[in-house]
Amino acid sequence: MARTPDPAVRLALIEAAADLLAAGGVDSLSIRRVATAVGTSTMAVYTHFGSKDELVREVVKEAFARRHADLAAVARTDD
């Protein structure tokens, strides 16, 4: 039986991947390391993203979304 993707697990996988990338670069990122950091199976990564490349794309998208939110929260001034 196929599992239903869990948004909380998806976000945890993105954050774990981002942490691994920040600490050791692309060479430090593996599906197994991400899954271990979250306490789930490697299948969870494939269920949510399909591949390592798609996981990396989602990390980048999430980083840009968070940066945009941070910048949007800054009050506008006259200058």
Tens-place pLDDT, residues 15-66: 999 999 999 998 889 999 999 999 999 999 999 999 999 999 999 999 999 9
pLDDT at 78 over 90: no
pLDDT at 71 over 70: yes
H helices present in 1-79, as ranges: 7-24, 31-38, 42-49, 52-72
Q: How confident is the model at residue 5 (pLDDT cuts 50, 70, 90)?
A: confident
Q: How many residues does the chain have?
A: 79
Return the pLDDT at 62.
95
Handedness of CA 10, 5, 46, 62 (dihedral sign): negative
